[in-house]
Chains A and B, each alone.
Chain A
Amino acid sequence: MQAKLILKDGTEYLGQSFGAEKPMTGEVVFATGMVGYPESLTDPSFRGQILVYTYPLIGNYGVPDKKFWESSRLQISGLIVCNYNSTPSHYSSRQTLSEWLKKEGVPGLEIKDTRGLTLKLRDHGVMLGKVVFGKNDIAFEDPNLRNLVAEVSIKKVYESGKGKKTVALIDCGAKRNIVRCLTSRGLKVIVVPWDYDVLKIRQKISAVIISNGPGDPTMARVTLDTVRKILAKKIPILGICLGNQILTLAAGGTTYKLKFGHRGQNQPCVLSGTKKAYLTTQNHGFAVAKIPNGFKEWFYNANDNTNEGIIHKSLPVMSVQFHPEAAPGPTDTDWVFDEFINKLR
């Protein structure tokens, strides 16, 4: 079955469908990672986005069991690849990528010139787009106007792990590996929805972690309010990705939208004031502009010098723009969890 990817500027890419035959619209973004599609496709940060893989062969090792995903479902609005692989080979594969997409109603398209599309997005910035089948056209829709965080966040509080210390994780679209990273370090984690008031938790909370998530941080107003309250109480905070932006905004800084964002597994970050550099996984369209008072730059991007994290000058309050939990991507920065946890009383 043939289908089209149509961009807001009118460009059309004819492709072969391998996913659900269901028209979809979203923000078209590209990611440069070469492995880890099951993790990325279930990463809630991709909510509302039509994802283009620059790596040309996708589907090689099928789809693993649900428990290895980063959330309970596919989060993307559509998947664009150069070559879809219908004959995966891996002991952990439970279904093909095509079967998965079809089951969950997500369109997938093989368009060959993904490089041309990537260069376009790089030069013009991210663009709205839609996948259409035959004459069933749909309208373009900007997912960033929606409260994507509310869409992907959990609805009910739950607990995970055992430990002497308890931390709260505000789920703005958290990847499961954040919880795994915390529990494996001997913490009990209470995961709460994005709009939950952490201070209402009756147990003693040693720290709050603000998770990654999709879209524009200014949309997560309720979370911002919560974080302001936590800051006032001087409870230790670790922000990740969207959490970095939320902490920035809550503490009085500003954010802005990047031209085409950082989406990949090879983003170099430097620990400010040192020659130490780390490779990180990233998946964000917004970034920190003004660092709030009382904070300083923690990391910066070695390629474009954008902010990659902030840290409070005296308190155990910090955040990173990258994903220390990896999955997918390099595990260089999982020490961030250790560093943070060591600072907890």
Chain B
Amino acid sequence: MKRYRKILVLGSGALKIGEAGEFDYSGSQAIKALKEEKIKTVLVNPNIATFQTSKTLADEVYFLPVNAYFVEKVIKKEKPDGIFLSFGGQTALNCGLKLQEKGILKKYGVKVLGSPIKSIELTEDRQFFADHLKSIGIPVPPSGSATDLNQAQKIVKKISFPVMVRAAYALGGQKSGVAHNQKELKEIVEGALAISPQVLIEKYLHHFKEIEYEVVRDRFNNTVTVCNMENFDPLGIHTGDSIVIAPSQTLTNEEYHGLREASIKIVKSLKIVGECNVQYALNPNPKNGKLDYYVIEVNARLSRSSALASKATGYPLAYVAAKLALGKSLLEVKNKITQVTQSFFEPALDYVVVKMPRWDLEKFKGAEEKIGSAMKSVGEVMAIGRSFEEAVQKAVRMQSGHNESITDIDFKNKDEVKHFLATPTPKRIFAIGEALKGGMSVRAIRKLTGIDEWFLFRLENIVKAETNFIRHCEGVHPTQAILSQKKIVSSSRKDMAQSGTPRNDIRSSDLLRLKQLGFSDKKIAQMCGKKELEIRQMRIELSIKPSIFQIDTLAGEVPAKTNYLYLTYHGGHNDVAPLGKKAVMVLGSGPYHIGSSVEFDWSCVYAAMALKKHKKQSIIINCNPETVSTDYDMSDRLYFENLSFETVADIFEFEKADSLIISVGGQRPNNLANRLAKEGFKLLGTAAQNIDRAEDRNKFSAALDKLDILQPKWQSFANIKDAEKFAEKAGYPVLVRPSYVLSGSCMSVCYTPEQLKDFVLKAGLLSPEYPVTISKFIENAKELEFDAVAQNGNLIIYAISEHVENAGVHSGDATIVYPTQRVYASTEFQIKEISKKIAKELKVTGPFNIQFLVKDNRPYVIEVNLRASRTFPLLSKALDANFPEMAVDAFFGKAKKFEYEHPSHVVVKSPQFSFARLSGADPVLRVEMASTGEVAAFGKTYNEALLKSILSANNFDFQKKAVLLSLGGEINKVKFLEAAGALLDLGYKIFATDATANFLKQQGIACQAVKKASEKSANALEVISDKEVSFVVNLSQPRFRPVESPLKRRLTKGFYLRRAAVDNQILLFTDLHLARAFVKSLENYSMEDLEVKSYKQYFTG
């Protein structure tokens, strides 16, 4: 076995649809595995919010774009002797292929570890790969590849409709789809060819089952399949968008092992060393009773599915893959869970796992709701149970935090239900619930959906239990629906538990059965007209409590030293003993979604790790398989469970823990503060009533008034008259947002009374129960973030960062710079003083964040969050200070004031958007967040850092000196004039749309006029689709933008232009300030000027 000295690991960059937090997990595991072998590690990953980019992990971290140019620079500097390409998703793999193609790896003597690059290339070329599989006797769907529409049509003639069209070299099935006719074929092929030079067309296998295997092979040809998974949805829905169950449920021995054997054959033929994923289509009704399957896809790298498989089985795939890449055999790698067996085995599960995607399609205005072969989900949850019913109901609750059960979403009528059965959308499982409730047969649903009856029968089981229970409750107490507490307390526990007779209105046996079917206390309470706590009380009286079971990889066959746990009602014992008072529970963030991403997992992990210092043991609760916090070695105990009051309370009461930390996992755990505190659970940090004072708009406003702190004028209203009156008085524009009860996913700035009326009325936002908040929108204001940790109301550490865009762009979508660049010292001083006052008033202990608007050097407070914010990892790294650790110190009263010098470097964070994957969505910045991830870069100056940061999240070609400008409104034109001149000086060819071109020419700036995009004339669109420009600036005037009514969409010319830029992967700016800053950066820096410095170097010089 060759000894490696230093290994370069490539990360996956920002979180985006199709490439999310799972690669933080896999990269972190890989680095840990290398550290164990005492091999030096270098990581390139601009995703600053990841755990893998921590100072404590890799020896050197580079916050730089993962592309051939920068990675070559890093290789030249660091001189690694090996490189890992399979731990950073498609981004890392593509970069690796480029490095190989350019001969860079050979030039610097860097060996690709793990699977041979030839095999990776083979799996990436669909036609070659299909030929390869055929040559080893593995069936692939009849197919062909094409590079233009004509070829595509010829292929379809041969294999006939319906066909599946996929783009080669694309992330997560991007731009692929099923075509049933020529028109659809044309649409999909053209879309795919815009992002890829090649499309693969194959026979669409209607209602086949979709099955996946995760395979591991070592260089001695030892191969195991760690896990198999079955998609709930039939073939045709991307596995990332499908509900998935592990292990498969409807496969016989012959099918399971037949596909397993094929997987091993494929992996051996490719000489994979490490991990590989194989996806199959399996015929549910083979004509001759023989195994009838096709290989759909093979990923020769760690993937989202492998992260899921890893969490589902307890088998640390990424860790093992890293060891194998070094040349070890599976027999030499210890099973980390049992500590006595080794890694050559296939986990035996004694539970089932259900993965459910989390979509946020409503956050993307205009995005199509339909799901299919291109992934649209932004995150996922994983639920563990001992029956499918138990697991799937848990998953439903984990997914949104709002739905309790598959019967929780209402549909207008039967037709609507049918529509949502026939058309796959995020609502499909709820439509099934509703259809079953309405008496539709399993067979009929199967026909419409193609979902295997096995799953439908399980859902029917849930629905029937619900219906029967409701009927029973109505029968027992037709009028009175309130449980007599006394009755329960006085009746003998044993008596109730065993007799099963209706001593009360709810039978003990019924309650147990409902819990086994996965019903929450809250849902049971709703079904029988009681309160959640009454059901909880009753359960405790009856000793109906969940069992705590371990995930031990061998179904109990070997004693395991594992801390990986879940709850189930299909048990009668607990696998572990309570940790007691030395334990502190840390609540994680739940599924990644827009607004809650890897940055909260980072804080959660560091908070848990900091507990050790205070001699506490950590218990993490989280349900997101894409996280580092759910790794087996991140906490003393891990509960892969929901972040609901019921579950958290159950775990706390079982563990008899000391206290809870709810302020590091984002808004989801934070929302539990009040309830947990009310029920007497001890929360560390800021008191729940003070959290409430910050969250409740009325109370918070009163507090600010009392402290004499400015805030934008606001008011709650329940009818449109009041809203209009307020807007007249305060003056337009106004910001309108529904009460946070409705998830706050619908905000808008209104510039005119018409817009206000349109938005409020048409959106159906008004109800007396949930008033809408309206506030004065201050135009052309700056937005600043204040992030801090306090102890008993005193600041311990703080940092002020600045939005590059003006207020009006959600902080998650804004480009943020630290330290501030354009802010007066006096403003910063005021901000600090205001923050101190707020911290004092709310007696803050722990993390907090305040958002300020600044207009004319006067700061207004717009929001306070008494929890760790999205910017925590960014600032922690920028300051080289650990905010969450300091927060934990503060919880225990041990925090010391942090002194630091003004930094000599600048850090810029840029958002990552995934608009390209969401057809129909308008890629424009708004008050509502739409980005799926972020990157950050360090630099000597603001401009250098900004340029690197933008390059990290976008493709940009320095060589292609051409730009398209479309500047809406006089002000935008005037304000961009200087930048346009600068571009010209830089040698840029300027294309400009009609009015912009006229203006520029008048001002003496040479440009080529193009017709503004519209459906008819496509001049500007052609400039984009022909990739004649390297970036596009499209500025529109917000006041003329159509109001963001969820019911109404007007497609403007600007929309087509923006959409074209996004679809052709061309850098797009829709914000004046950011666009100008970018041009300024181009003026000051060429690609060669950008420094290649490691994170540590920014602190040591």
Chain A residues within CB distance 8 Å of chain B: 30, 32-36, 38-39, 54-57, 60-61, 64, 82-83, 85, 87-92, 112-116, 118-119, 122, 264-268, 270, 275-277, 279, 302-303, 326-332
Q: Is the CB of A55 within 8 A of B350?
A: yes
Q: Verify if B792 is at the interface (C-beta below 8 Å from A).
A: no
* Nearest 7 A/B pairs, CB to CB: A36-B253, A113-B572, A89-B454, A54-B555, A87-B457, A32-B348, A328-B253
Additional 16 contacts, C-beta under 8 A, given A276-B220, A276-B222: A32-B554, A33-B348, A54-B555, A61-B251, A87-B454, A114-B350, A116-B573, A118-B350, A118-B557, A275-B220, A279-B346, A326-B257, A328-B257, A330-B257, A330-B260, A330-B346
B555 surroundings in chain A (CB, below 8 A):
32, 54-55, 115, 118, 264
Q: Verify if B224 is at the interface (C-beta below 8 Å from A).
A: yes
A and B contact pairs by CB, cutoff 8 A, 24 listed: A34-B247, A34-B349, A35-B257, A36-B256, A55-B350, A55-B555, A56-B386, A56-B387, A57-B249, A82-B386, A83-B386, A85-B454, A87-B453, A89-B250, A113-B547, A116-B573, A119-B556, A277-B330, A279-B224, A279-B344, A302-B344, A329-B257, A330-B346, A331-B257
Considering the complex, give the chain B residue whose CB is closest to the CB of A56: B386
Q: Is the CB of B453 within 8 A of A89?
A: yes
Q: Is the CB of A54 within 8 A of B350?
A: yes
Q: Verify if B739 is at the interface (C-beta below 8 Å from A).
A: no
- A266: contacting residue among B222, B345, B549, B575, CB under 8 A: B345
CB distance from A339 to the nearest CB of B (A): 16
Q: Verify if B351 is at the interface (C-beta below 8 Å from A).
A: yes
CB distance from A273 to the nearest CB of B (A): 13
- B345: contacting residue among A36, A54, A303, CB under 8 A: A303
B573 surroundings in chain A (CB, below 8 A):
113, 115-116, 119
A115 surroundings in chain B (CB, below 8 A):
350, 549, 555-556, 571, 573, 575
Q: Is the CB of A64 within 8 A of B252?
A: yes
Contacts A35-B251, A61-B252 given; indicate if A266 touches B571 (C-beta within 8 A). Answer: no
The CA-CA distance from A339 to B594 in the complex, in Å, is 58
The CA-CA distance from A119 to B550 in the complex, in Å, is 12
Q: Which residues of chain B from 223 to 253 have any CB-CB distance to chain A below 8 Å in the complex?
A: 224, 247-253
CB distance from B828 to the nearest CB of A (A): 59
B478 surroundings in chain A (CB, below 8 A):
none
Q: Is the CB of A89 within 8 A of B452?
A: yes
B352 surroundings in chain A (CB, below 8 A):
56-57
Q: Is the CB of B348 within 8 A of A34?
A: yes
Which of B145-153, B282-290, B413-421, B643-651 is found at the contact surface with chain A? Answer: B282-290
Contact with A along B271-291 (1 / 0, CB 8 A): 000000000000011100100
Q: Which residues of chain B from 114 to 145 have any CB-CB distance to chain A below 8 Å in the complex?
A: none
B575 surroundings in chain A (CB, below 8 A):
115, 119
Q: Is the CB of B571 within 8 A of A112?
A: yes
Contacts A55-B555, A89-B453, A266-B347 given; indicate if A303 touches B256 (C-beta within 8 A). Answer: no
A327 surroundings in chain B (CB, below 8 A):
253
A85 surroundings in chain B (CB, below 8 A):
454
Q: Verify if B329 is at the interface (C-beta below 8 Å from A).
A: yes
CB distance from A334 to the nearest CB of B (A): 9
Considering the complex, give the chain B residue whose CB is closest to the CB of A68: B254
- A303: contacting residue among B224, B247, B285, B558, CB under 8 A: B558
- B331: contacting residue among A35, A38, A277, CB under 8 A: A277
The CA-CA distance from A38 to B252 in the complex, in Å, is 9
Interface centre among A89, A91, A276 (most CB of B within 10 A): A89
B256 surroundings in chain A (CB, below 8 A):
34-36
Q: Verify if B570 is at the interface (C-beta below 8 Å from A).
A: yes
B350 surroundings in chain A (CB, below 8 A):
32, 54-56, 82, 114-115, 118
CB distance from B289 to the nearest CB of A (A): 7
The CA-CA distance from A35 to B350 in the complex, in Å, is 12
Considering the complex, give the chain A residue whose CB is closest to the CB of B252: A61
The CA-CA distance from A55 to B248 in the complex, in Å, is 12
Considering the complex, give the chain B residue whose CB is closest to the CB of A86: B457
Q: Verify if B342 is at the interface (C-beta below 8 Å from A).
A: yes
Contacts A264-B557, A276-B220, A277-B331 given; indicate if A92 touches B348 (C-beta within 8 A). Answer: no
B248 surroundings in chain A (CB, below 8 A):
35
The CA-CA distance from A265 to B555 in the complex, in Å, is 12
A57 surroundings in chain B (CB, below 8 A):
249, 352, 387-388
Interface of B is mostly: loop
A276 surroundings in chain B (CB, below 8 A):
220-222
- B286: contacting residue among A36, A55, A82, A91, CB under 8 A: A91
The CA-CA distance from A91 to B285 in the complex, in Å, is 6
Q: Is the CB of B342 within 8 A of A268?
A: yes
The CA-CA distance from A54 to B557 in the complex, in Å, is 9
A270 surroundings in chain B (CB, below 8 A):
331
B556 surroundings in chain A (CB, below 8 A):
30, 32, 54, 115, 118-119, 122
Q: Which residues of chain B from 338 to 379 have any CB-CB distance to chain A below 8 Å in the complex?
A: 340-342, 344-352
Q: Verify if B261 is at the interface (C-beta below 8 Å from A).
A: yes
Considering the complex, give the chain A residue whose CB is closest to the CB of B461: A87
Q: Which residues of chain B from 307 to 332 have any CB-CB distance to chain A below 8 Å in the complex?
A: 329-331
Considering the complex, give the chain A residue whose CB is closest to the CB of B389: A83
The CA-CA distance from A194 to B1096 in the complex, in Å, is 74
- B342: contacting residue among A32, A267, A303, A331, CB under 8 A: A303
The CA-CA distance from A267 to B342 in the complex, in Å, is 11
A88 surroundings in chain B (CB, below 8 A):
454
Q: Is the CB of B286 within 8 A of A32?
A: no
CB distance from A246 to the nearest CB of B (A): 26
Interface centre among B330, B346, B457, B555 (most CB of A within 10 A): B555
B547 surroundings in chain A (CB, below 8 A):
113
Q: Verify if B559 is at the interface (C-beta below 8 Å from A).
A: yes
CB distance from B512 to the nearest CB of A (A): 10
Q: Is the CB of B570 within 8 A of A92?
A: no
Contacts A33-B348, A57-B387 given; indicate if A122 touches B331 (C-beta within 8 A). Answer: no
CB distance from B273 to the nearest CB of A (A): 14
Considering the complex, give the chain A residue whose CB is closest to the CB of B261: A331
Contact with A along B510-549 (1 / 0, CB 8 A): 0000001000000000000000000000000000000101
Considering the complex, give the chain A residue whose CB is closest to the CB of B341: A303
The CA-CA distance from A56 to B249 in the complex, in Å, is 11
Contact with A along B382-393 (1 / 0, CB 8 A): 000011100000
The CA-CA distance from A113 to B261 in the complex, in Å, is 33
Q: Is the CB of A112 within 8 A of B346?
A: no
A34 surroundings in chain B (CB, below 8 A):
247, 256, 348-349
CB distance from B482 to the nearest CB of A (A): 31
Q: Is the CB of A266 within 8 A of B348?
A: yes
The CA-CA distance from A4 to B351 in the complex, in Å, is 23
The CA-CA distance from A268 to B344 in the complex, in Å, is 6
B221 surroundings in chain A (CB, below 8 A):
276
Q: Is the CB of B257 within 8 A of A56?
A: no
The CA-CA distance from A266 to B553 in the complex, in Å, is 11
Q: Is the CB of B557 within 8 A of A35?
A: no
CB distance from A22 to the nearest CB of B (A): 25
Contact with A along B253-268 (1 / 0, CB 8 A): 1001100110010000
Q: Is the CB of A329 within 8 A of B572?
A: no
The CA-CA distance from A85 to B286 in the complex, in Å, is 23
The CA-CA distance from A70 to B284 in the complex, in Å, is 23
The CA-CA distance from A116 to B574 in the complex, in Å, is 8
A32 surroundings in chain B (CB, below 8 A):
348, 350, 554-557
The CA-CA distance from A303 to B345 in the complex, in Å, is 9
CB distance from B462 to the nearest CB of A (A): 13
Interface centre among A89, A113, A115 (most CB of B within 10 A): A115
Q: Is the CB of B571 within 8 A of A113?
A: yes
A302 surroundings in chain B (CB, below 8 A):
331, 341-342, 344-345
The CA-CA distance from A83 to B569 in the complex, in Å, is 12
The CA-CA distance from A212 to B438 in the complex, in Å, is 53
CB distance from A42 to the nearest CB of B (A): 12
The CA-CA distance from A35 to B259 in the complex, in Å, is 13
CB distance from B186 to the nearest CB of A (A): 37
Considering the complex, give the chain A residue whose CB is closest to the CB of B554: A32
The CA-CA distance from A28 to B352 in the complex, in Å, is 24
